[in-house]
Amino acid sequence: MDDLALPAVPAPDDEARRAAVARYGSLAVPAGGFGRLADLGCWLAAAQGACPPRPPARARVVALAADHGIAEAGVSAYPPGTTARQVAVAREQALPVTVLAPAAAASVRVVDVALDTDPDEGRYRVRRGSGRIDRVDALSARETTAAVTVGRTLVDEEVDAGADLLVPAALGVGATTPASTLVAALTGSEPVAVVGRGSGIDDTTWMRKAAAVRDALRRTRPYRDAPLQLLRTAGGADLAALTGFLVQAALRRTPVLFDGLVVGAAAVLAERLAPGAREWWLVAQHSPEPAMALVLDRLNLRPVLDLRLRLEDGAGAVAVLPLLQMAARLLAETVTMADSGIVPIGGGHG
């Protein structure tokens, strides 16, 4: 089941990266003056294969909406069925990510992959809700493959329509429970090391969530080295689709900016399925979810900021997007020492 027959992931353009490093060294600023913004500019140059890089002008947030059977176990601050209302609020442009997106010149697309609603909202729905993972599998084998394919298809649609940067996100009550389970399975961690406050849960709810992760984690034991089996057993349609999304973005040479534990868990699985995909991803901000620290360590990625946002809708990534746009402009438009006549003593940076 774990053979997707994927091609090798292409590497970002190292020549463009080196050119960006050299250009930063020629600018009329102190050595290291741009700090982390220089890192962002070099990453974007490599992803675009161009120096100087272009500021992302058609960033696209793709938020995958899904319900999770595990919400019935009382693991969230919100009751089952709330996800559909989140989707409605997003379409009213009042969800945090939709409020922030216009300020960052981004647009938002919400896709129903597993809402537990009737009627079906579109051709991307894999099933109605996902199974309660502490007792049954989240998906069937066919549904898992279908969800991964949905994620890959969404990337193709967005890139073909002109998106120059993608922000994957998730909407779903209870989604951090399967995400935490998957991270625990992939890193060999105990439930107490991965379970956080998610939607803002109290101590009693936290204990229910830890028990749910414990029971789901036991069910994953035969599949710790099989990403698609893990998604089938303890993931969900959104997590499987996000995994396919992250894989396909790398295959399409498209930079990805993300935050949140749900996307983070999918990222670890995507890197397992398509080694090297992580080179195309940038983590926007550090989630306070304890499992996210394990994700970052496993992927060897460093967040741009530590906003401590506990959201999964992509708002953290959109908040960081202007910094990426600024980094590109600094690299393209800042005057060089040669053109400015600003030369430090000794002729070099100092």
Establish if 90 belongs to a structural domain: yes
> Residue 50: what pLDDT?
98
Average pLDDT, rounded, for the chain: 95
By residue count, the chain amounts to 350
Residue 349 pLDDT > 70, yes or no? no
Residue 303 pLDDT > 80, yes or no? yes
Instruction: Give the mean pLDDT of 163-168.
Output: 98
In this predicted structure, which of 45-49, 94-98, 196-200, 340-344 has the lowest mean pLDDT?
A: 340-344
Residue 162 pLDDT > 70, yes or no? yes
Establish if 72 belongs to a structural domain: yes
Check which CATH number belongs to the domain holding 116 and give it: 3.40.50.10210
CB-based contacts of 117, cutoff 8 Å, min separation 6: 84, 128
Residue 78 pLDDT > 90, yes or no? yes
Its pTM stands at 0.96
In this predicted structure, which of 10-14, 31-35, 141-145, 312-316 has the lowest mean pLDDT?
A: 31-35
Establish if 91 belongs to a structural domain: yes
Establish if 20 belongs to a structural domain: no
In 3D space, the residue among 234, 47, 2 whose CA is nearest the CA of residue 136 turns out to be 234
**Domain, as residue range, for 203:** 56-322
Residue 320 pLDDT > 90, yes or no? yes
CB 181: neighbour CB atoms within 10 A? 33
Q: With bands split at pLDDT 50, 70 and 90, how would you rate the model's confidence at 7?
A: very high
> Residue 48: what pLDDT?
98
Q: With bands split at pLDDT 50, 70 and 90, how would you rate the model's confidence at 4?
A: confident
Establish if 343 belongs to a structural domain: no
| Separation CA 323–CA 308 (nearest Å) | 17
Establish if 287 belongs to a structural domain: yes
Residue 296 pLDDT > 90, yes or no? yes
pLDDT in tens, 273-288: 999 999 999 999 999 9
Percent of the chain with pLDDT over 70: 97
Contact 238, 65 (CB under 8 A): yes
> Residue 346: what pLDDT?
64
Amino acid at position 121, single letter: E
> Residue 118: what pLDDT?
87
pLDDT in tens, 146-156: 999 999 999 99
Residue 113 pLDDT > 70, yes or no? yes
Q: With bands split at pLDDT 50, 70 and 90, how would you rate the model's confidence at 348?
A: low
Strand partners, 258: 283
| Separation CA 314–CA 243 (nearest Å) | 16
Establish if 270 belongs to a structural domain: yes
Instruction: Give the mean pLDDT of 58-75.
Output: 97
> Residue 2: what pLDDT?
58
Contact 179, 168 (CB under 8 A): no
| Separation CA 331–CA 102 (nearest Å) | 24
Q: With bands split at pLDDT 50, 70 and 90, how would you rate the model's confidence at 309?
A: very high
The two tokens of residue 295 are: 């994700």
| Separation CA 47–CA 250 (nearest Å) | 10
> Residue 347: what pLDDT?
59
Residue 83 pLDDT > 80, yes or no? yes
In 3D space, the residue among 166, 157, 145 whose CA is nearest the CA of residue 6 turns out to be 145
Establish if 253 belongs to a structural domain: yes
Residue 62 pLDDT > 90, yes or no? yes
Instruction: Give the mean pLDDT of 39-65.
Output: 98
Provide the domain count of the chain: 1
Q: Could you write out the three-class secondary structure of the chain?
A: CCCCCCCCCCCCCHHHHHHHHHHHHHECCCCCCCCHHHHHHHHHHHHHCCCCCCCCCCEEEEEEEECEHHHHHCCCCCCCCHHHHHHHHHHCCCCHHHHHHHHHCEEEEEEEEECCCCCCCCCCCCCCCECCCCCCCCCCHHHHHHHHHHHHHHHHHHHHCCCCEEEEEEECCCCHHHHHHHHHHHHCCCHHHHCCCCCCCCHHHHHHHHHHHHHHHHHCHHHCCCHHHHHHHHCCHHHHHHHHHHHHHHHCCCCEEECCHHHHHHHHHHHHHCCCHHHHEEECECCCCHHHHHHHHHHCCCCCECCCCCCCCCHHHHHHHHHHHHHHHHHHHCCEHHHHCCCCCCCCCC
> Residue 199: what pLDDT?
86
| Separation CA 265–CA 299 (nearest Å) | 10
In 3D space, the residue among 247, 193, 192, 180 whose CA is nearest the CA of residue 220 turns out to be 180
Strand order in the sheet with 165-171: 106-114, 59-66, 165-171, 256-258, 281-283
